[in-house]
Chains A and B, each alone.
Chain A
Amino acid sequence: MTYSEFLAKYSTDIWRAFFTHIELVLVSVGIGVIIAVPAGIFLSRHKGTAKYILSIAGVIQTIPGLVLLGIMLILMGIGKPPAIAALSLYAILPILRNTYTGILEVDGHCIEAARGIGMSGGQILFQVELPLAMPAIIGGLRLSTVYIISWATLAGMIGAGGLGDLIWTGLSTYETKFIVAGAVPAAVLALVANAVIGFFQHILTPRGLKLGR
Protein backbone atom coordinates (compact mmCIF):
# COMPACT_ATOMS: atom_id res chain seq x y z
CA MET A 1 0.00 0.00 0.00
CA THR A 2 1.52 3.31 -1.05
CA TYR A 3 1.10 6.51 0.95
CA SER A 4 -1.48 7.81 -1.50
CA GLU A 5 -3.52 4.63 -1.22
CA PHE A 6 -3.12 4.81 2.55
CA LEU A 7 -4.32 8.42 2.63
CA ALA A 8 -7.24 7.65 0.35
CA LYS A 9 -8.28 4.82 2.59
CA TYR A 10 -7.79 6.45 5.97
CA SER A 11 -8.22 10.18 5.32
CA THR A 12 -11.52 10.32 7.22
CA ASP A 13 -9.89 8.67 10.23
CA ILE A 14 -6.87 10.94 10.07
CA TRP A 15 -9.01 14.08 9.89
CA ARG A 16 -11.19 12.85 12.74
CA ALA A 17 -8.10 12.11 14.85
CA PHE A 18 -6.67 15.50 13.97
CA PHE A 19 -9.79 17.39 15.07
CA THR A 20 -10.15 15.28 18.20
CA HIS A 21 -6.56 16.15 18.98
CA ILE A 22 -7.24 19.85 18.58
CA GLU A 23 -10.32 19.50 20.72
CA LEU A 24 -8.32 17.81 23.51
CA VAL A 25 -5.69 20.55 23.36
CA LEU A 26 -8.15 23.46 23.28
CA VAL A 27 -10.26 22.13 26.13
CA SER A 28 -7.26 21.27 28.32
CA VAL A 29 -5.45 24.53 27.71
CA GLY A 30 -8.74 26.40 28.13
CA ILE A 31 -9.30 24.80 31.52
CA GLY A 32 -5.66 25.48 32.34
CA VAL A 33 -6.10 29.21 31.57
CA ILE A 34 -9.35 29.45 33.50
CA ILE A 35 -7.67 27.99 36.56
CA ALA A 36 -4.13 29.33 36.23
CA VAL A 37 -4.72 33.03 35.45
CA PRO A 38 -7.00 33.77 38.40
CA ALA A 39 -4.81 31.56 40.59
CA GLY A 40 -1.73 33.48 39.44
CA ILE A 41 -3.43 36.78 40.29
CA PHE A 42 -4.42 35.39 43.68
CA LEU A 43 -0.88 34.19 44.37
CA SER A 44 0.59 37.58 43.40
CA ARG A 45 -1.44 38.96 46.33
CA HIS A 46 -0.45 36.14 48.68
CA LYS A 47 3.24 35.63 48.17
CA GLY A 48 3.51 33.45 51.27
CA THR A 49 1.07 30.92 49.86
CA ALA A 50 2.60 31.23 46.40
CA LYS A 51 5.78 29.42 47.40
CA TYR A 52 3.86 26.29 48.44
CA ILE A 53 1.37 26.28 45.60
CA LEU A 54 4.06 26.76 42.98
CA SER A 55 6.16 23.93 44.35
CA ILE A 56 3.11 21.62 44.42
CA ALA A 57 2.38 22.57 40.83
CA GLY A 58 6.02 21.91 40.03
CA VAL A 59 5.77 18.43 41.49
CA ILE A 60 2.71 17.65 39.36
CA GLN A 61 4.73 18.74 36.35
CA THR A 62 7.38 16.14 37.10
CA ILE A 63 4.95 13.20 37.18
CA PRO A 64 5.48 11.32 33.90
CA GLY A 65 2.61 11.71 31.48
CA LEU A 66 1.88 8.00 31.31
CA VAL A 67 1.70 7.75 35.08
CA LEU A 68 -0.69 10.67 35.40
CA LEU A 69 -2.87 9.27 32.62
CA GLY A 70 -2.83 5.95 34.41
CA ILE A 71 -3.93 7.57 37.65
CA MET A 72 -6.75 9.36 35.84
CA LEU A 73 -7.74 6.12 34.15
CA ILE A 74 -8.11 4.50 37.55
CA LEU A 75 -10.01 7.47 38.95
CA MET A 76 -12.22 8.31 35.98
CA GLY A 77 -12.23 5.35 33.61
CA ILE A 78 -11.47 5.57 29.90
CA GLY A 79 -12.34 8.23 27.34
CA LYS A 80 -11.79 11.94 26.99
CA PRO A 81 -12.57 13.19 30.52
CA PRO A 82 -9.59 11.53 32.25
CA ALA A 83 -7.29 12.62 29.43
CA ILE A 84 -8.52 16.20 29.64
CA ALA A 85 -8.13 16.15 33.42
CA ALA A 86 -4.52 15.03 33.14
CA LEU A 87 -3.63 17.41 30.32
CA SER A 88 -5.27 20.35 32.13
CA LEU A 89 -3.09 19.70 35.14
CA TYR A 90 -0.04 19.89 32.89
CA ALA A 91 -1.30 23.05 31.24
CA ILE A 92 -1.68 24.90 34.53
CA LEU A 93 1.90 25.29 35.70
CA PRO A 94 3.51 27.33 32.90
CA ILE A 95 0.55 29.71 32.79
CA LEU A 96 0.34 29.97 36.56
CA ARG A 97 4.01 30.66 36.98
CA ASN A 98 4.11 33.22 34.20
CA THR A 99 1.01 35.04 35.42
CA TYR A 100 2.44 35.19 38.91
CA THR A 101 5.91 36.40 37.94
CA GLY A 102 4.50 38.64 35.21
CA ILE A 103 2.41 40.53 37.75
CA LEU A 104 5.20 40.67 40.31
CA GLU A 105 7.57 42.08 37.73
CA VAL A 106 5.37 45.07 37.04
CA ASP A 107 7.33 48.13 38.20
CA GLY A 108 6.38 48.81 41.81
CA HIS A 109 6.53 52.53 41.19
CA CYS A 110 3.76 52.23 38.62
CA ILE A 111 1.62 50.47 41.19
CA GLU A 112 2.44 53.11 43.80
CA ALA A 113 1.58 55.88 41.37
CA ALA A 114 -1.63 54.09 40.44
CA ARG A 115 -2.64 53.78 44.07
CA GLY A 116 -1.56 57.32 44.80
CA ILE A 117 -3.73 58.84 42.10
CA GLY A 118 -6.76 56.92 43.28
CA MET A 119 -7.13 53.73 41.26
CA SER A 120 -8.98 50.96 43.06
CA GLY A 121 -7.48 47.49 43.39
CA GLY A 122 -9.52 46.20 40.45
CA GLN A 123 -8.61 49.14 38.26
CA ILE A 124 -4.93 48.67 39.01
CA LEU A 125 -5.26 44.97 38.13
CA PHE A 126 -7.08 45.43 34.85
CA GLN A 127 -5.60 48.71 33.63
CA VAL A 128 -2.03 48.40 34.83
CA GLU A 129 -0.95 44.99 36.10
CA LEU A 130 -2.61 42.65 33.60
CA PRO A 131 -1.75 44.69 30.49
CA LEU A 132 1.86 44.90 31.62
CA ALA A 133 1.96 41.20 32.55
CA MET A 134 0.23 40.17 29.33
CA PRO A 135 3.38 39.27 27.36
CA ALA A 136 4.45 36.94 30.17
CA ILE A 137 1.00 35.39 30.52
CA ILE A 138 0.75 34.68 26.79
CA GLY A 139 4.27 33.31 26.93
CA GLY A 140 3.05 30.78 29.49
CA LEU A 141 0.05 29.96 27.33
CA ARG A 142 2.32 29.37 24.35
CA LEU A 143 4.53 27.02 26.32
CA SER A 144 1.54 25.10 27.70
CA THR A 145 -0.09 24.72 24.30
CA VAL A 146 3.02 23.33 22.63
CA TYR A 147 3.55 20.87 25.51
CA ILE A 148 -0.06 19.75 25.50
CA ILE A 149 -0.08 19.15 21.75
CA SER A 150 2.72 16.66 22.16
CA TRP A 151 1.45 15.11 25.40
CA ALA A 152 -2.05 14.72 23.98
CA THR A 153 -0.66 11.97 21.75
CA LEU A 154 -0.42 9.86 24.91
CA ALA A 155 -4.15 10.33 25.51
CA GLY A 156 -4.89 7.85 22.74
CA MET A 157 -3.77 5.15 25.15
CA ILE A 158 -6.73 5.66 27.41
CA GLY A 159 -9.23 5.86 24.62
CA ALA A 160 -9.46 9.61 24.28
CA GLY A 161 -8.76 9.50 20.56
CA GLY A 162 -6.66 12.05 18.75
CA LEU A 163 -3.49 11.68 16.74
CA GLY A 164 -2.07 9.44 19.44
CA ASP A 165 -4.55 6.78 18.36
CA LEU A 166 -2.89 6.53 14.95
CA ILE A 167 0.56 6.37 16.49
CA TRP A 168 -0.41 3.59 18.90
CA THR A 169 -2.08 1.69 16.08
CA GLY A 170 1.07 2.00 14.01
CA LEU A 171 3.27 0.86 16.88
CA SER A 172 1.18 -2.19 17.67
CA THR A 173 0.81 -3.30 14.03
CA TYR A 174 4.33 -2.36 12.81
CA GLU A 175 2.68 -0.09 10.24
CA THR A 176 4.91 2.96 9.81
CA LYS A 177 2.32 4.81 7.78
CA PHE A 178 0.02 5.07 10.81
CA ILE A 179 2.87 6.41 12.92
CA VAL A 180 3.70 9.01 10.28
CA ALA A 181 0.02 9.87 9.88
CA GLY A 182 -0.15 10.63 13.62
CA ALA A 183 3.25 12.15 14.26
CA VAL A 184 3.56 14.52 11.31
CA PRO A 185 0.25 16.35 11.87
CA ALA A 186 1.04 16.57 15.61
CA ALA A 187 4.41 18.15 14.88
CA VAL A 188 2.92 20.54 12.34
CA LEU A 189 0.18 21.45 14.78
CA ALA A 190 2.74 22.27 17.46
CA LEU A 191 4.73 24.48 15.10
CA VAL A 192 1.65 26.28 13.83
CA ALA A 193 0.27 26.81 17.35
CA ASN A 194 3.62 28.20 18.45
CA ALA A 195 3.67 30.66 15.56
CA VAL A 196 0.04 31.71 15.95
CA ILE A 197 0.31 32.31 19.68
CA GLY A 198 3.62 34.09 19.15
CA PHE A 199 1.78 36.40 16.80
CA PHE A 200 -0.89 37.08 19.41
CA GLN A 201 1.78 37.66 22.01
CA HIS A 202 3.19 40.36 19.81
CA ILE A 203 -0.24 41.88 19.14
CA LEU A 204 -1.24 41.87 22.79
CA THR A 205 2.01 43.35 24.07
CA PRO A 206 1.22 46.99 24.82
CA ARG A 207 2.83 49.17 22.18
CA GLY A 208 4.52 51.29 24.81
CA LEU A 209 6.40 48.21 26.03
CA LYS A 210 7.60 47.20 22.60
CA LEU A 211 9.05 50.66 22.02
CA GLY A 212 10.99 50.46 25.24
CA ARG A 213 12.88 47.39 24.19
Chain B
Amino acid sequence: MIQFRSVCKRYGKKTILDTLNLDIKAGEFVILIGPSGCGKTTTLKTINRLIEPDSGEIYIDGKDITKMDPVKLRRTIGYVIQQIGLFPNMTVEQNIAIVPKLLNYKKEEIDDIVHRLLDLVNMPYEENAKKYPSELSGGQQQRIGVLRALAASPPIVLMDEPFGALDPVTRDSLQEEVKKIQRKLGKTIVFVTHDMDEAIRLADTIVFMNEGKVLQVASPEEMLQNPADPIIKSFLGKHMSNGVNAAGMVASDFMRKKVLTVPKTKKTLECIELMSRRDVSSLIVIEEDDTYLGTVSVDKIKAQGKAGKEIAELITVEAITVNRDSNAQEAFELLIASPTGYVIVLNDDNTVAGLITKTSMAKAMGEALWGEMTQ
Protein backbone atom coordinates (compact mmCIF):
# COMPACT_ATOMS: atom_id res chain seq x y z
CA MET B 1 0.00 0.00 0.00
CA ILE B 2 2.68 2.51 1.01
CA GLN B 3 6.16 1.89 -0.32
CA PHE B 4 9.32 3.82 0.42
CA ARG B 5 12.10 3.35 -2.10
CA SER B 6 15.56 4.70 -1.17
CA VAL B 7 14.11 7.80 0.42
CA CYS B 8 16.72 10.31 1.59
CA LYS B 9 16.28 13.56 3.46
CA ARG B 10 18.98 15.86 4.68
CA TYR B 11 18.89 19.12 6.60
CA GLY B 12 22.20 20.83 5.99
CA LYS B 13 24.82 18.26 6.93
CA LYS B 14 22.51 16.20 9.10
CA THR B 15 21.06 13.13 7.45
CA ILE B 16 17.51 12.54 8.64
CA LEU B 17 16.49 9.72 6.33
CA ASP B 18 19.21 7.51 4.95
CA THR B 19 18.05 5.50 1.91
CA LEU B 20 14.93 4.40 3.67
CA ASN B 21 13.10 1.38 2.28
CA LEU B 22 9.85 0.32 3.83
CA ASP B 23 6.64 -1.43 2.81
CA ILE B 24 3.43 -0.84 4.68
CA LYS B 25 0.58 -3.22 3.98
CA ALA B 26 -3.04 -2.16 3.64
CA GLY B 27 -5.15 -2.44 6.78
CA GLU B 28 -2.16 -2.65 9.09
CA PHE B 29 -1.53 -0.71 12.26
CA VAL B 30 2.10 0.24 11.77
CA ILE B 31 4.09 1.95 14.50
CA LEU B 32 7.24 3.89 13.79
CA ILE B 33 9.39 3.97 16.88
CA GLY B 34 12.93 4.87 17.80
CA PRO B 35 15.03 7.34 19.77
CA SER B 36 14.54 11.09 19.26
CA GLY B 37 15.90 12.28 15.95
CA CYS B 38 15.72 8.81 14.40
CA GLY B 39 13.61 10.14 11.53
CA LYS B 40 10.27 8.60 12.47
CA THR B 41 8.27 11.83 12.31
CA THR B 42 10.04 12.86 9.11
CA THR B 43 9.12 9.50 7.60
CA LEU B 44 5.50 10.05 8.56
CA LYS B 45 5.37 13.54 7.11
CA THR B 46 6.83 12.46 3.80
CA ILE B 47 3.74 10.31 3.30
CA ASN B 48 1.44 13.33 3.08
CA ARG B 49 4.17 15.51 1.65
CA LEU B 50 4.39 17.93 4.53
CA ILE B 51 8.06 17.10 4.07
CA GLU B 52 9.49 16.46 0.62
CA PRO B 53 12.33 13.95 0.39
CA ASP B 54 15.56 14.96 -1.36
CA SER B 55 15.60 11.73 -3.33
CA GLY B 56 13.85 8.39 -3.60
CA GLU B 57 10.23 7.59 -4.29
CA ILE B 58 7.16 6.98 -2.22
CA TYR B 59 4.23 5.08 -3.71
CA ILE B 60 0.72 4.80 -2.42
CA ASP B 61 -1.21 2.01 -4.14
CA GLY B 62 1.48 1.98 -6.78
CA LYS B 63 1.18 5.69 -7.55
CA ASP B 64 4.20 7.97 -7.13
CA ILE B 65 2.99 10.61 -4.69
CA THR B 66 5.41 13.26 -5.92
CA LYS B 67 3.37 13.30 -9.13
CA MET B 68 0.16 14.01 -7.23
CA ASP B 69 -1.23 17.38 -6.15
CA PRO B 70 -0.22 17.60 -2.47
CA VAL B 71 -3.50 19.21 -1.41
CA LYS B 72 -5.58 16.49 -3.07
CA LEU B 73 -3.26 13.81 -1.72
CA ARG B 74 -3.67 15.07 1.85
CA ARG B 75 -7.44 14.98 1.60
CA THR B 76 -7.20 11.24 1.12
CA ILE B 77 -4.94 10.78 4.13
CA GLY B 78 -6.04 11.48 7.70
CA TYR B 79 -3.63 13.40 9.90
CA VAL B 80 -3.52 13.62 13.69
CA ILE B 81 -0.82 15.48 15.63
CA GLN B 82 0.19 15.52 19.27
CA GLN B 83 -0.78 19.17 19.72
CA ILE B 84 -4.19 18.30 18.28
CA GLY B 85 -4.49 21.54 16.29
CA LEU B 86 -8.27 21.81 16.31
CA PHE B 87 -9.43 25.11 14.85
CA PRO B 88 -10.48 27.17 17.88
CA ASN B 89 -12.80 29.35 15.77
CA MET B 90 -14.87 26.36 14.72
CA THR B 91 -17.24 24.15 16.66
CA VAL B 92 -16.68 20.46 17.16
CA GLU B 93 -19.08 19.80 14.30
CA GLN B 94 -17.32 22.24 11.97
CA ASN B 95 -13.95 20.80 12.85
CA ILE B 96 -15.05 17.27 12.01
CA ALA B 97 -16.81 18.41 8.85
CA ILE B 98 -13.90 20.33 7.42
CA VAL B 99 -12.46 17.75 5.05
CA PRO B 100 -15.84 16.52 3.77
CA LYS B 101 -16.65 20.17 3.11
CA LEU B 102 -13.40 20.67 1.22
CA LEU B 103 -14.40 17.65 -0.85
CA ASN B 104 -17.86 19.15 -1.50
CA TYR B 105 -19.88 16.45 0.22
CA LYS B 106 -23.61 17.13 0.45
CA LYS B 107 -24.87 18.68 3.64
CA GLU B 108 -26.99 15.67 4.67
CA GLU B 109 -24.04 13.40 4.10
CA ILE B 110 -21.82 15.58 6.28
CA ASP B 111 -24.45 15.66 9.03
CA ASP B 112 -24.64 11.91 8.91
CA ILE B 113 -20.84 11.57 9.14
CA VAL B 114 -20.64 13.91 12.13
CA HIS B 115 -23.39 12.04 13.98
CA ARG B 116 -21.88 8.66 13.24
CA LEU B 117 -18.36 9.63 14.22
CA LEU B 118 -19.36 11.29 17.48
CA ASP B 119 -21.27 8.12 18.34
CA LEU B 120 -18.15 6.12 17.63
CA VAL B 121 -16.31 7.82 20.50
CA ASN B 122 -19.32 8.07 22.80
CA MET B 123 -19.62 11.83 22.60
CA PRO B 124 -23.32 12.37 21.87
CA TYR B 125 -24.05 14.84 19.10
CA GLU B 126 -26.58 16.87 21.10
CA GLU B 127 -24.13 17.51 23.92
CA ASN B 128 -20.96 18.07 21.97
CA ALA B 129 -21.46 19.15 18.36
CA LYS B 130 -21.96 22.85 19.08
CA LYS B 131 -19.17 23.14 21.61
CA TYR B 132 -15.90 24.85 20.86
CA PRO B 133 -12.56 23.10 21.35
CA SER B 134 -11.77 25.30 24.35
CA GLU B 135 -14.80 23.83 26.13
CA LEU B 136 -13.47 20.28 25.87
CA SER B 137 -10.93 18.37 27.96
CA GLY B 138 -7.63 17.37 26.37
CA GLY B 139 -8.81 13.82 25.83
CA GLN B 140 -12.06 14.95 24.23
CA GLN B 141 -10.16 17.38 22.01
CA GLN B 142 -7.92 14.61 20.74
CA ARG B 143 -10.95 12.38 20.13
CA ILE B 144 -12.26 15.14 17.88
CA GLY B 145 -8.79 15.41 16.34
CA VAL B 146 -9.01 11.73 15.44
CA LEU B 147 -12.55 12.12 14.11
CA ARG B 148 -11.51 15.05 11.95
CA ALA B 149 -8.89 12.78 10.42
CA LEU B 150 -11.45 10.03 9.80
CA ALA B 151 -14.29 12.19 8.48
CA ALA B 152 -13.74 11.72 4.77
CA SER B 153 -13.01 7.99 5.21
CA PRO B 154 -9.38 8.15 4.15
CA PRO B 155 -7.87 4.68 3.71
CA ILE B 156 -4.70 5.86 5.43
CA VAL B 157 -4.43 7.77 8.71
CA LEU B 158 -1.15 9.26 9.92
CA MET B 159 -0.75 9.88 13.64
CA ASP B 160 2.19 11.76 15.09
CA GLU B 161 2.45 10.92 18.80
CA PRO B 162 -1.24 11.64 19.11
CA PHE B 163 -1.55 10.65 22.76
CA GLY B 164 1.82 11.91 23.96
CA ALA B 165 0.40 14.89 25.82
CA LEU B 166 -2.48 13.11 27.52
CA ASP B 167 -2.65 11.74 31.05
CA PRO B 168 -2.17 7.97 31.36
CA VAL B 169 -5.83 7.12 32.00
CA THR B 170 -7.10 9.16 29.05
CA ARG B 171 -4.29 7.78 26.91
CA ASP B 172 -5.26 4.20 27.72
CA SER B 173 -8.87 4.69 26.75
CA LEU B 174 -7.99 6.57 23.56
CA GLN B 175 -5.53 3.87 22.55
CA GLU B 176 -8.26 1.33 22.96
CA GLU B 177 -10.73 3.41 20.97
CA VAL B 178 -8.31 3.99 18.14
CA LYS B 179 -7.41 0.32 17.96
CA LYS B 180 -11.10 -0.56 17.88
CA ILE B 181 -11.82 2.01 15.19
CA GLN B 182 -8.91 0.77 13.13
CA ARG B 183 -10.16 -2.81 13.24
CA LYS B 184 -13.74 -1.82 12.62
CA LEU B 185 -13.04 0.49 9.70
CA GLY B 186 -10.05 -1.42 8.33
CA LYS B 187 -7.79 1.62 8.15
CA THR B 188 -4.10 1.60 7.46
CA ILE B 189 -2.66 3.56 10.35
CA VAL B 190 0.89 4.83 10.47
CA PHE B 191 1.58 5.92 14.01
CA VAL B 192 4.69 7.56 15.46
CA THR B 193 5.56 7.12 19.11
CA HIS B 194 8.57 6.81 21.36
CA ASP B 195 6.60 4.80 23.89
CA MET B 196 7.25 1.06 23.57
CA ASP B 197 4.20 0.28 25.74
CA GLU B 198 2.01 2.03 23.24
CA ALA B 199 3.74 0.29 20.33
CA ILE B 200 3.31 -3.19 21.79
CA ARG B 201 -0.25 -2.47 22.68
CA LEU B 202 -1.39 -1.12 19.33
CA ALA B 203 0.87 -2.32 16.56
CA ASP B 204 0.42 -5.08 14.06
CA THR B 205 3.89 -4.21 12.88
CA ILE B 206 6.57 -2.22 14.64
CA VAL B 207 9.13 -0.40 12.52
CA PHE B 208 12.16 0.41 14.62
CA MET B 209 14.24 3.29 13.27
CA ASN B 210 17.57 4.74 14.26
CA GLU B 211 19.64 7.42 12.55
CA GLY B 212 17.39 7.55 9.53
CA LYS B 213 17.48 3.83 8.89
CA VAL B 214 15.08 1.01 9.56
CA LEU B 215 16.70 -1.41 12.02
CA GLN B 216 13.90 -3.93 12.25
CA VAL B 217 10.38 -4.48 10.97
CA ALA B 218 8.53 -7.08 13.00
CA SER B 219 5.40 -7.88 14.92
CA PRO B 220 5.61 -6.92 18.61
CA GLU B 221 5.92 -10.59 19.56
CA GLU B 222 8.73 -11.20 17.11
CA MET B 223 10.57 -8.06 18.16
CA LEU B 224 10.35 -9.06 21.81
CA GLN B 225 11.76 -12.46 21.05
CA ASN B 226 14.48 -11.43 18.64
CA PRO B 227 15.42 -7.79 18.88
CA ALA B 228 17.72 -7.24 15.93
CA ASP B 229 19.91 -4.65 17.62
CA PRO B 230 21.11 -3.74 21.15
CA ILE B 231 19.33 -0.37 20.80
CA ILE B 232 16.05 -2.14 20.23
CA LYS B 233 16.78 -4.37 23.20
CA SER B 234 17.30 -1.41 25.50
CA PHE B 235 14.17 0.25 24.10
CA LEU B 236 12.15 -2.85 24.78
CA GLY B 237 13.44 -2.73 28.35
CA LYS B 238 10.91 -4.15 30.73
CA HIS B 239 9.01 -5.94 28.02
CA MET B 240 11.93 -8.34 27.61
CA SER B 241 11.05 -10.17 30.83
CA ASN B 242 8.66 -13.02 31.54
CA GLY B 243 10.82 -15.98 30.65
CA VAL B 244 11.02 -15.23 26.99
CA ASN B 245 14.48 -13.82 27.15
CA ALA B 246 15.54 -14.65 30.68
CA ALA B 247 15.71 -18.21 29.32
CA GLY B 248 18.58 -17.19 27.11
CA MET B 249 20.57 -15.61 29.90
CA VAL B 250 23.66 -17.27 31.32
CA ALA B 251 25.67 -16.97 34.52
CA SER B 252 27.98 -14.32 33.11
CA ASP B 253 24.98 -12.00 32.50
CA PHE B 254 24.40 -11.86 36.23
CA MET B 255 27.90 -11.53 37.57
CA ARG B 256 29.89 -8.66 38.90
CA LYS B 257 33.01 -8.37 36.78
CA LYS B 258 35.20 -6.45 39.23
CA VAL B 259 36.29 -8.95 41.82
CA LEU B 260 39.11 -8.86 44.30
CA THR B 261 41.61 -11.66 43.70
CA VAL B 262 44.92 -12.30 45.45
CA PRO B 263 47.81 -14.62 44.52
CA LYS B 264 48.39 -17.52 46.90
CA THR B 265 51.76 -16.01 47.82
CA LYS B 266 50.10 -13.03 49.49
CA LYS B 267 50.88 -12.61 53.21
CA THR B 268 48.21 -13.00 55.92
CA LEU B 269 48.27 -9.47 57.34
CA GLU B 270 48.13 -7.91 53.89
CA CYS B 271 45.01 -9.94 53.18
CA ILE B 272 43.33 -8.87 56.41
CA GLU B 273 44.18 -5.26 55.65
CA LEU B 274 42.79 -5.61 52.13
CA MET B 275 39.57 -7.22 53.34
CA SER B 276 38.91 -4.63 56.01
CA ARG B 277 39.56 -1.83 53.56
CA ARG B 278 37.18 -3.30 50.97
CA ASP B 279 34.75 -4.36 53.65
CA VAL B 280 34.59 -8.01 52.55
CA SER B 281 34.98 -11.16 54.59
CA SER B 282 36.83 -13.34 52.12
CA LEU B 283 39.10 -13.17 49.09
CA ILE B 284 39.43 -15.26 45.95
CA VAL B 285 42.85 -16.81 45.70
CA ILE B 286 44.45 -17.55 42.35
CA GLU B 287 47.47 -19.46 41.05
CA GLU B 288 50.37 -17.70 39.42
CA ASP B 289 48.83 -18.56 36.04
CA ASP B 290 45.61 -16.81 37.18
CA THR B 291 43.60 -20.03 37.51
CA TYR B 292 41.19 -20.34 40.39
CA LEU B 293 42.43 -21.96 43.58
CA GLY B 294 39.91 -21.29 46.31
CA THR B 295 39.02 -18.68 48.86
CA VAL B 296 40.40 -17.44 52.07
CA SER B 297 38.22 -16.00 54.82
CA VAL B 298 39.06 -13.45 57.45
CA ASP B 299 37.92 -15.78 60.22
CA LYS B 300 40.24 -18.56 59.07
CA ILE B 301 43.24 -16.25 58.90
CA LYS B 302 42.52 -14.90 62.36
CA ALA B 303 42.07 -18.38 63.80
CA GLN B 304 44.98 -20.22 62.15
CA GLY B 305 47.17 -17.74 60.32
CA LYS B 306 50.48 -16.46 61.50
CA ALA B 307 51.75 -12.98 60.74
CA GLY B 308 54.16 -12.87 57.82
CA LYS B 309 53.14 -16.26 56.44
CA GLU B 310 51.73 -16.85 52.96
CA ILE B 311 48.05 -17.69 52.79
CA ALA B 312 48.58 -20.82 50.66
CA GLU B 313 47.73 -23.34 53.38
CA LEU B 314 44.67 -21.41 54.61
CA ILE B 315 42.83 -21.71 51.31
CA THR B 316 39.51 -23.51 51.37
CA VAL B 317 37.58 -24.76 48.37
CA GLU B 318 34.11 -24.68 49.87
CA ALA B 319 32.94 -21.81 47.63
CA ILE B 320 30.66 -22.87 44.82
CA THR B 321 31.85 -22.27 41.28
CA VAL B 322 30.00 -22.22 38.01
CA ASN B 323 31.04 -21.94 34.39
CA ARG B 324 30.31 -18.58 32.79
CA ASP B 325 28.10 -20.17 30.14
CA SER B 326 25.96 -22.11 32.60
CA ASN B 327 22.28 -21.50 32.52
CA ALA B 328 21.24 -18.49 34.59
CA GLN B 329 18.64 -20.46 36.44
CA GLU B 330 21.22 -23.02 37.53
CA ALA B 331 23.49 -20.25 38.76
CA PHE B 332 20.57 -18.72 40.59
CA GLU B 333 19.77 -21.99 42.37
CA LEU B 334 23.41 -22.41 43.35
CA LEU B 335 23.45 -18.90 44.77
CA ILE B 336 20.42 -19.59 46.93
CA ALA B 337 22.03 -22.78 48.22
CA SER B 338 25.50 -21.34 48.65
CA PRO B 339 26.71 -21.26 52.28
CA THR B 340 29.03 -18.35 51.47
CA GLY B 341 26.34 -16.17 49.86
CA TYR B 342 28.13 -15.99 46.52
CA VAL B 343 28.98 -18.08 43.50
CA ILE B 344 32.28 -17.73 41.68
CA VAL B 345 32.04 -17.65 37.90
CA LEU B 346 34.93 -19.27 36.02
CA ASN B 347 36.01 -18.97 32.43
CA ASP B 348 36.63 -22.09 30.34
CA ASP B 349 40.34 -21.88 31.15
CA ASN B 350 39.54 -21.89 34.86
CA THR B 351 40.44 -18.26 35.42
CA VAL B 352 38.05 -16.12 37.46
CA ALA B 353 35.44 -14.31 35.33
CA GLY B 354 33.40 -12.72 38.06
CA LEU B 355 31.25 -13.18 41.08
CA ILE B 356 27.53 -13.63 41.42
CA THR B 357 26.20 -12.17 44.64
CA LYS B 358 22.65 -11.43 45.66
CA THR B 359 23.29 -7.79 44.79
CA SER B 360 24.64 -8.49 41.31
CA MET B 361 21.76 -10.89 40.68
CA ALA B 362 19.18 -8.29 41.76
CA LYS B 363 20.85 -5.65 39.58
CA ALA B 364 20.87 -7.90 36.53
CA MET B 365 17.24 -8.81 37.05
CA GLY B 366 16.39 -5.15 37.41
CA GLU B 367 18.08 -4.42 34.12
CA ALA B 368 16.27 -7.25 32.41
CA LEU B 369 13.03 -5.84 33.69
CA TRP B 370 13.48 -2.11 33.31
CA GLY B 371 16.44 -1.64 31.03
CA GLU B 372 19.90 -0.21 31.74
CA MET B 373 20.28 0.97 35.32
CA THR B 374 22.58 3.75 36.36
CA GLN B 375 23.50 2.38 39.75
The A-B contact count (CB < 8 A) is 86
Q: Is the CB of A208 within 8 A of B88?
A: yes
Interface digits, A76-119 against B, CB 8 Å rule (1 contact, 0 not)?
Answer: 00000000000000000000000000000001011111111111
Chief secondary structure at chain B's binding surface: mixed
The interface residues of chain B lying within 8 Å CB-to-CB of A111 are: 85
Interface digits, B134-166 against A, CB 8 Å rule (1 contact, 0 not)?
Answer: 110000000001001100000000100000000
Given known contacts A116-B48, A118-B71, A206 and B98 CB-to-CB distance under 8 angstroms? no
Q: Is the CB of B87 within 8 A of A114?
A: yes
A58 to B210, CA, bound (A): 49
Chief secondary structure at chain A's binding surface: helix
- Complex partner residue of A209 from B71, B81, B85, B89, CB under 8 angstroms: B89
- Nearest CB on B from A192, distance (A): 29
A208 to B135, CA, bound (A): 8
- Complex partner residue of A109 from B76, B84, B90, CB under 8 angstroms: B84
A118 to B50, CA, bound (A): 10
- Nearest CB on B from A127, distance (A): 8
CB closest chain-B residue, reference A120: B71
Given known contacts A208-B132, A208-B134, A211-B134, A117 and B89 CB-to-CB distance under 8 angstroms? no
The size class of the interface chain B forms with chain A is: 20 to 34
CB closest chain-A residue, reference B90: A208
Q: Is the CB of A109 within 8 A of B74?
A: no
In chain B, positions 93-144 with a C-beta closer than 8 Å to chain A are: 98-99, 102, 132-135
Q: Is the CB of A109 within 8 A of B50?
A: no
A119 to B95, CA, bound (A): 13
Query: Is A182 close to B, CB under 8 A?
Result: no
CB closest chain-A residue, reference B89: A206
Q: Is the CB of B79 within 8 A of A119?
A: no
- Nearest CB on B from A103, distance (A): 14
CB closest chain-B residue, reference A110: B85
The interface residues of chain B lying within 8 Å CB-to-CB of A51 are: none
- Complex partner residue of A115 from B50, B78, B148, CB under 8 angstroms: B50
Query: Is A212 close to B, CB under 8 A?
Result: yes
- Nearest CB on B from A119, distance (A): 7
Query: Is B331 close to A, CB under 8 A?
Result: no
- Nearest CB on B from A207, distance (A): 6
Q: Is the CB of A211 within 8 A of B99?
A: no
- Complex partner residue of A212 from B50, B90, B134, CB under 8 angstroms: B134
Q: Is the CB of A116 within 8 A of B134?
A: no
Q: Is the CB of A117 within 8 A of B132?
A: no
Q: Is the CB of A116 within 8 A of B74?
A: yes
Query: Is B83 close to A, CB under 8 A?
Result: yes
Of the A-B pairs whose beta carbons lie under 8 Å apart in the complex, a sample of 13, sorted by A's number, is A109-B81, A110-B88, A113-B86, A114-B85, A117-B79, A120-B71, A123-B102, A127-B98, A128-B89, A132-B87, A208-B132, A211-B132, A212-B134
New A-B contacts (6) at CB < 8 Å, excluding given A206-B89, A207-B89, A212-B88 = A109-B83, A112-B50, A113-B85, A116-B48, A116-B79, A208-B132
